[in-house]
Amino acid sequence: MDAITLEVMRNRFFAITEEMGAAIIRTAYSTNIKDRRDCSCALFNVNGDTIAQAEHIPVHSGVLPWGVKGALSRIDMAQLKPGDVLMHNDPFIGGTHLPDIIMFSPIFFAGKLVAFVGNLAHHVDVGGMVPSSLTPDATEIFQEGIRFPPIKIRKAGVLDQELINIHRANVRTPYICGGDLMAQIAANNVGEQRFEELCREVGVDMVEEAIVELENYCDRRMVAELEKFPTGTYEFSDILEGDGATTEEPLVIKVKIITGGPQMTVDFTGTCPQVKGSINCVRPMTLACIYYVIRAVTDPSIPPNAGSFKRINVITPEGSLVNAVFPAATGSGNSITCQRLVDVLLGALAKAVPDKVCAAATGSMNGIQIGGFNPATNSYFVNGETVGGGYGGIIDQDGTSGVNTHMTNTRNTPVEVLETILPVKVLHYGLREDSEGAGLHRGGFGIERVFEFLTDDINCQIISDRVYSKPWGLAGGKEASGTRFTIERKDGQTIELSSKNRVKFNAHDKFYIRTSGGGGWGDPKKRDPMLVATDVKDGLISRERADQEYGVKLDGKGKVK
């Protein structure tokens, strides 16, 4: 296939997935999808390999294709019919955690199976021991909610109402969660229609040829990038602050990356065994982190396609934190462990390609799950939030502030929405002063958010990290401030919490969330004093920190002395 035709077809494939994303966001019921956009959409060939995946959530880049492939290995593909929709949420078949429900549909053209279209969306509740189904102290997957094997929620165009009723009976917010299921089906409908239109327009033979050629094209481009790496072996390790259930002892994640030639080996041998708490990752989650980092340090314009990652050899010891086996709890793995996997991968690659790697970011998705029963509305409420932080500095720029980093790409929930869907009042929301890692290029700033609760008996699960294992700097840059979680009870009692916790709030209790910034890059004493003065003027850095960390003294008017 000539280059121009292939490029046109590539863009047509990706346009389908982007339109699917627009469909699910516009039709979803939950804040988690319609506002935070915690969902991803993709096209797959008849084997379940990725053709195109929209640029939605990085952690889904490895999970969604392996979720489809895992499901296909467990069903009779000869029994698939037009109008079928399959769903599952089993991490051990291919996924992340139970709230991430995968739905995919076969696409037939002229009676022939030609592709699959699918999406993954995070549901606010799938049952289990707490509202939101996510808690750091779960010790087995059975505590985390209802688990669906690959099943047909729609058969030849007809919804299975009995299955939908089973789902509704096991979740705390059936109206919202049921609406999100329908939004996922709607997104697949769009993908099917657009793919069939493409087959009619250019012919199914050209479409199938383009699928093969695109995979080969992506493979060639990635080979060219991998051959640019210096030959060598690069190692790095970092820790997690306990498992949230049985220990607060440091848990080691260790990686060795071997480069040289048209391939790369990523070896996690030496990483701690899987744990009792819910921070375990299944192998597809680990693969997603590797895919993200490799694209970030090579050429991000290489499309996310199965061919882009064929040359990456990955070793994940079975039964370890990065390849957990049944019945491990996995609810917090993507929120915490995946972010730390990115840190160790970048830490190792910083020794090979230092000009392409940022210092450590906030280090966690800082998951805050809030739920309970509101007497004022006589109904259950559930909401999950990932509170952003700071990116690490890099060789030519400061880290970005107040954003979700690396493996999550979700938006923040607007204050007005939070106060509408939850019995809370947001007292403060802004960037956290002095939270950055100092450097020639400083890290981004974390977030400070303060809630006041308006009713009693509210459940809150804190799924975070980097309270004492702070985001590290590079090239002489300093570490960032650690994350902090503080409760102020209505009687004035103050309680400092660890990074993983399950707590109860009552009316007029306050909850202070302070996330970490990103590590700095380079010697902070070499930073432009005018940039430091600007940060002081903006209320991001205190005068004391400007003096102590950057060596910049300011006069009474904020001018550099």
| pLDDT of amino acid 491 | 94
Amino acid (1-letter code) at residue 141: I
Q: What angle do CA 101, 105, 109 make, to 5 degrees?
A: 170
Question: How far is Cα of residue 337 from the mean position of the Cα atoms in its chain?
Answer: 10
Q: What is the mean pLDDT of residues 196-219?
A: 97
pLDDT score for 411:
87
**Is the per-residue pLDDT at 206 higher than 90?**
yes
Spatial neighbors of 214 by CB under 8 A, at least 6 apart, are: 6, 9, 10, 13, 51, 52, 303, 305, 307
**Quick one: CA torsion of 467, 473, 479, 481, rounded to 10 degrees?**
-60
**Rounded average pLDDT over 203-212:** 97
Report pLDDT digits (tens) over 504-529: 999 999 999 999 999 999 999 999 99
CB 424 within 8 Å of CB 453: yes
Task: Give the span between the Cα atoms of 410 and 111, in whole angstroms.
Answer: 38
Task: List the domain boundaries for the chain.
Answer: 3-220, 358-527
Q: Is the dihedral of CA 128, 133, 139, 140 positive or negative?
A: positive
Asked whether 289 and 407 are in contact (CB, 8 A), the reply is yes
- Which pLDDT score, from 0 to 100, does residue 56 have? 84
* Percent share of the chain, pLDDT over 90: 94
> What number is the average pLDDT over the span 227-232?
96
Q: What is the mean pLDDT of residues 461-480?
A: 96
Torsion angle of C-alpha atoms 55, 57, 58, 61, degrees rounded to 10: -80
Say what the pLDDT of residue 463 is: 95
Averaged pLDDT score across all residues of the chain? 95
What is the rounded average pLDDT of the residues 92-102?
A: 95
Four-residue CA torsion sign, 293, 298, 304, 310: negative
Are 423 and 370 in contact by the 8 Å Cβ rule? The answer is no
- pLDDT band at residue 68 under the 50/70/90 scheme: very high
Write the single-letter amino acid at 279.
I
- At residue 318, the pLDDT reads 97
Side chain identity at residue 25, one-letter code? I
pLDDT tens, position by position, 534-557:
999 999 999 999 999 999 999 888
SS (H, E, C) 299-342: CCCCCCCHHHHCCEEEECCCCECCECCCCCCCCCHHHHHHHHHH
CA 324, chain centre distance (Å): 18
